[in-house]
């Protein structure tokens, strides 16, 4: 009889990260090099996206105007792929917004001065 110790599996591990694939599968990654599926992200496509109702916190609700959503997974049919870990760049022209803010501020100051002048003229007419 021979006493030998053999391992027929992986050591215990703890969750070390998540990975999201282009088709929307969420995969748990463990410290013992195991990978397990955790779920699937589904996408919805609407005939009229402008008809969706905002319910806050970047969440939207289906309405009669939007039509019924078609549900599917990334990379199939009319659905695009999911890009994990990607940061979307701003689509705002910062210089133009700053100039527009300054113009609006100057317009507000001009209107405020105009109202003050009209108020002074009205007080002068009343005092005559």
How does pLDDT run across 85-98, given as a tens digit for each residue?
Answer: 888 777 888 899 99
Q: Is the pLDDT of residue 116 over 70?
A: yes
Q: What is the pLDDT of residue 127?
A: 82
pTM of the model: 0.52
How does pLDDT run across 38-52, given as a tens digit for each residue?
Answer: 999 999 999 999 999
Three-state helix/strand/coil letters over the chain: CCCCCCCCCCCCCCEEEEEECCCCEEEEEECCCCEEEEEECCEEECCCHHHCEEEECCEEECCCCCCCCEEECCCCCCCCCCCCCCCCCCCCCHHHHHHHHHHHHHHHHHHHHHHHHHHHHHHHHHHC
Q: Is the pLDDT of residue 15 over 70?
A: yes
Mean pLDDT (the chain) is 88
């Amino acid at each position: 009889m021979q006493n030998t110790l053999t391992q027929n599996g992986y050591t215990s591990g703890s969750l070390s990260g998540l990975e999201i694939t282009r088709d929307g599968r969420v995969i748990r990654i463990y410290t013992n090099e195991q990978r397990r599926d955790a779920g699937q992200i589904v996408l919805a496509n609407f005939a009229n996206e402008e008809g969706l109702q905002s319910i806050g916190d970047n969440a939207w609700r289906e309405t009669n105007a939007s039509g019924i959503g078609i549900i599917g997974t990334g990379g199939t049919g009319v659905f695009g792929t999911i890009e994990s870990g990607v940061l979307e760049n701003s689509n705002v022209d910062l210089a133009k917004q700053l100039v527009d803010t300054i113009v609006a501020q100057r317009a507000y100051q001009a209107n405020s001065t105009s109202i003050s002048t009209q108020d002074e003229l009205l007080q002068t007419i009343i005092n005559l």
